[in-house]
Structure 1
Amino acid sequence: MATPREIELKLECGVADLAALANHPLLRADGTPEAVVLSSTYFDTAKGDLRKGGLTLRVRREGDRRIQTVKAASASVGLFDRAEWEAEIFGEVPDAEAFAETPVPALLGDAADPSLVPVFTSVVDRTTRLVVHGASLISVTLDQGRIETAEGAVPLCEVELELDEGSPGDLFGLAQALAETIPLRLGALSKSARGWRLIDGTLRKSSKASPVRLEPDATAGGAFRAVAQACLHHLRLNEDVFLHGRHPEGLHQIRVALRRLRSALTLFKPILTSDPAAAHLRDEIKRVTEPFGRARNLDVFLETTLPAELQKRPEEAGLQDLRTRLEAERDRAHDAVIATLESPAWRSLILDVAAWIETGAWRTQGPAEGGTPARDAPAEDFAADILDRIRRRIRKRGRRLERLDPEARHRVRIEGKKLRYGAEFFASLYTDKKAHKRHKAFVSAVSDLQDHLGALNDMATAHEVLSSLATAGDGVPAETLFAAGLTAGDNEAETKALLAKAADAHADLVDLKPFWR
């Protein structure tokens, strides 16, 4: 028997926007929309064995009915395509007989204590209507409510477009049409994921990229979809964090997510080359996010470079004024980032990227000369070929690294990022003990090279920050300019030592045996 699946596009918005959607012309349906109050309790073991195994288990109260649902976790963002098992039960706690044909019993069987306990609840006012869009029948759900845990509660306001009949392309088509007049954001978290993050305190904290899980028989196309989805998920989690509190690490992780996504578009170019949207989206992402670099440079200077200088020269009066001036400049730079993230163009771009990943021409177009599309090749073969090419470029471009000019070093750094991201993207394809050991050593070596080249890059950007101050005009006191000059000089003094370390790290990297061979 085929596993039942749920195909759902999740979007986030404000309360006023939800009210506007309720009367949107595209969401008019025959009859009166169905309105209900839903109270759902999520269960797991005390150790979270179901969560660790990629499952959620809930019991939902809907009037006099009790619906038990098991869902597989999804690494997707926006479009959730996941296994789902649902059954009506009698009672407020999970019914073991009703989940007997799901993966739950196996996970509970391996648990130290298989007892199920309630972990959090969601209470939602839900309105549902069926609409036709394109050639598809779509269930549109407007949810407003909250998630409640022992650690507190968080509001919930989202739109779910679930495919009853038809194609995912129509889900995105409807979302994009609605987003033309309503500020909708691609959903990053399921209700259960939001509840867990509230419990463990990570809902409003920045997060690094999660590992990409690829099946052993994954194709190159399947690998790209998984990688691109992971990048979008990483981006959206940290976008919400930065919008909520302007945390510098949140901005840093936004930029990391965007670099990873752009690197993926480059690494997987052989399977995307026939789809012009790939290059267009890559260029558009770079263009729209240009202001993010200035803000990040100021963050690094104020959090790393300047504190080190203050510790070294605590009596230098001009350093305090330097910090005050640059903090004001950083506030303006953060304002520019916020303006971008809150703009319709940004929200639309992210929705377009998500739609293209799932429904773009790259997924169906065949090669111009016929034969098997590159996207259908085994991911492991594809990875080996791509990683070989980048490794050769780094080996060639990094020769005599300590003698290279800053621009040439920057090109080595970019290739190093691609190699590191590629090694991370494809890591799960190499699971045997020897390959895993080699992978760990390889990523460590790439990271060492990146760290040294990154430090050199931070020095270069520090000079740019300080140069902008020097050209600001006569309003900058002489003692502040003097302090800026001292900082630049102290920074420059470390360059030679960092270059030597970077050259050693490059030599160590090229000597390592590739983990993919």
Structure 2
Amino acid sequence: MTTPREIELKLDCEVADLPTLANHPLLRADGTPDTAVLTSTYFDTVKGDLRKAGLTLRVRREGDRRIQTVKAAGGGAGLFDRAEWETDIAGDRPDLERLGDAPVAALLADLPDSDLRPVITTVVERTTRLVLHGESLISATLDQGRIETKQGDVPLCELELELGEGKPGDLFGLAQALSETVPLRLGALSKSARGWSLLDGTLRKASKSGAVRLAPEATAGEAFRAIAGACLHHLRLNEDVFLHRRHPEGLHQIRVALRRLRSAITLFKPILAGDPATANLRDEIKRVTEPFGRARNLDVFLETTLPAEMEKRPDEAGLRDLRTRLEAERDRAHDAVIATLESPAWRSLVLDIAAWIETGAWRSEGNVPVRDAPAEEFAADILDKARRRIRKRGRHLDRIDAEARHRVRIEGKKLRYGAEFFASLYAEGKPHKRHKAFVAALSDLQDHLGALNDMATAHEVLSGLAHDASAVPAQALFAAGLTAADTEAATKALLAKAAEAHGDLVDLKPFWR
């Protein structure tokens, strides 16, 4: 059994683009490309032990061969850097005697063979070419087929670029060059992960950020790579949701993922400051995603603020006129978001971010002691600083102006994201209990500040109507005025609650000390 590492970049594509990719000059190979039909079956225990451990066990039928493969989890979005154990076996079920030193062996040691069950099957037509790009030999694989589960099937179409020899950066270079003529998107899920998402009903449903698992011995640099990769993974999952369903929660989670990524860049500034790409990418993220804020503000108003007002004033006909007017505006705002997500600039930016996370200068430049220091030490330092900022800026929270409150809210988000990013380093004993209490108090503060922010954005939405009063029915304008007055009346009580929540937060002992 061999134990190589697989370094592979996954890219999603459409079936209509396969002919262009198959004949692309950059994917021309010496000789005839290899083509085969492959059927792969993924196995797990009844309790899903392998999935929980971040492992996959599959048996692939390739002609007369049966190839058993174990893969470990690895990578964030797009780039999968995984340990892999592979061997030929005789039958269609896993051969537990031939697992060797793969970690699956320990998990299955005390289980009967009958406890393993097939859970996912993939059937693909695969075309493989070996190409040279930059300084690297790359295996370029086009897969078209389907993923089959007991919950149904889903089509599969992807390009995989696997590093044979050379540098991972060349995988991204080739991907960017190909994406100039074919609308490729950074892959978010492996085949098995896509199958599991189909089984548990989460495929193309909006999803919150997942937990970031950091090894206890992780360095600060390794922590940033894992955290930023998780943010990008979160982004891509919800990007697909919004593109296919225009679901408001998908848009919200896209913005959350981008805020988390930008917060991570800020928190890890001591590590990233020497890389000139850092500031450029952060600024480009902010510029390209500017239309997202307007769409989200309209979503919140139409899903939260306006329904509450209609319940309070059920006989006010102008509120229905207001809803009709703003729903049309929201449709236009969503169109602008879709246009951004479908643009070459957006797809290129996502690839650039992934390349920077995995191969950026920040990872290789010399003499950056803080990058190679223990992640736990780094976390304590940056969380201390973030806590001091929110403690100072949040004094007299119920008396400061709206702009100052907004800064407190931003600092609160950074502290909350930081607490979530490093949670796995404080997963036991007293630190774990303190972490739960700290995050709960921080969430309480954020909820109140978020409600105040929703009121502020509601005023922005309504002010926009006032500026174009000649085109808005009088009833709708009157209803807008009533709504503005009602939201303003609720502000004082929320400010008092926010100030109390801030006091509770700063009184808590930090979980990282």
TM tier relative to shorter chain: over 0.9
Shift of 1:181: 1.4
Distance 2:417 2:241 in 1: 23
**Which residue does the alignment assign to 1:116?**
116
Distance 1:48 1:20 in 2: 39
TM-score, normalising length from structure 2?
0.98
Shift of 1:413: 0.5
User: Structure 1 residues 110, 445: closer, same or farther in 2, change over 3 A?
Assistant: farther
Whether the aligned pair in 2 keeps the contact of 1:49 and 1:111 (CA below 8 Å) is no
**Which residue does the alignment assign to 1:310?**
310
Is 1:432 the counterpart of 2:416? The answer is: no
Which of 466, 477, 502 is matched with 2:498 structurally? 502
**Which residue does the alignment assign to 1:196?**
196
**Which residue does the alignment assign to 1:462?**
458
Distance 1:468 1:480 in 2: 13
Distance 2:293 2:60 in 1: 45
Which aligned runs of 4 or more in structure 1 are off by greater than 2 angstroms? Answer: 1-4, 108-114
Q: Which amino acid aligns with 2:388?
A: R
Shift of 1:73: 2.1
Whether the aligned pair in 2 keeps the contact of 1:146 and 1:156 (CA below 8 Å) is yes
SS at match of 1:401: coil
Q: How many residues are treated as equivalent by the alignment?
A: 513
SS at match of 1:403: coil
**Which residue does the alignment assign to 1:139?**
139
**Which residue does the alignment assign to 1:178?**
178
Q: Which amino acid aligns with 1:155?
A: P
Distance 2:111 2:351 in 1: 39
RMSD in angstroms over aligned alpha carbons?
1.4
Q: Which amino acid aligns with 2:502?
A: H
**Which residue does the alignment assign to 2:508?**
512
Q: Which amino acid aligns with 1:475?
A: A
Shift of 1:114: 6.5
SS at match of 1:139: strand
Which of 474, 477, 483 is matched with 1:478 structurally? 474
Shift of 1:431: 2.7
**Which residue does the alignment assign to 2:409?**
413
Q: Which amino acid aligns with 1:197?
A: S
User: Structure 1 residues 103, 227: closer, same or farther in 2, change over 3 A?
Assistant: same
Q: Which amino acid aligns with 1:10?
A: K
Shift of 1:277: 0.6
User: Structure 1 residues 12, 241: closer, same or farther in 2, change over 3 A?
Assistant: same
**Which residue does the alignment assign to 2:333?**
333
TM-score, normalising length from structure 1?
0.97
Is 1:57 the counterpart of 2:96? The answer is: no
Whether the aligned pair in 2 keeps the contact of 1:45 and 1:113 (CA below 8 Å) is no
Whether the aligned pair in 2 keeps the contact of 1:46 and 1:113 (CA below 8 Å) is no
Distance 1:42 1:343 in 2: 35
Q: Which amino acid aligns with 1:465?
A: V
Per-residue Cα deviation, 1:284-327 (whole angstroms, up to 9, x for no partner): 00010010000000000010001101111111000111111111
Per-residue Cα deviation, 1:187-219 (whole angstroms, up to 9, x for no partner): 000000000000111002111000111111111
Distance 2:413 2:282 in 1: 16
Whether the aligned pair in 2 keeps the contact of 1:11 and 1:158 (CA below 8 Å) is yes
Per-residue Cα deviation, 1:162-204 (whole angstroms, up to 9, x for no partner): 0111110111111111111111100000000000000111002
Q: Which amino acid aligns with 2:28?
A: R
Distance 1:328 1:279 in 2: 36
Distance 1:400 1:187 in 2: 46
Shift of 1:3: 4.3
Unaligned segments of structure 2, at least 5 residues: none
Shift of 1:366: 2.3
SS at match of 2:207: coil
Shift of 1:467: 0.9
Deviates more, 1:14-23 or 1:104-113: 104-113
Per-residue Cα deviation, 1:240-292 (whole angstroms, up to 9, x for no partner): 01101001000000000000000001000000111111011001000100100
Whether the aligned pair in 1 keeps the contact of 2:390 and 2:408 (CA below 8 Å) is yes
Q: 1:177-326 to 2 correspondence within 5 Å?
A: 177-326=177-326
Shift of 1:161: 0.4
Shift of 1:102: 1.2
Which of 381, 385, 388 is matched with 1:389 structurally? 385
SS at match of 1:402: coil
Which of 448, 451, 457 is matched with 1:452 structurally? 448
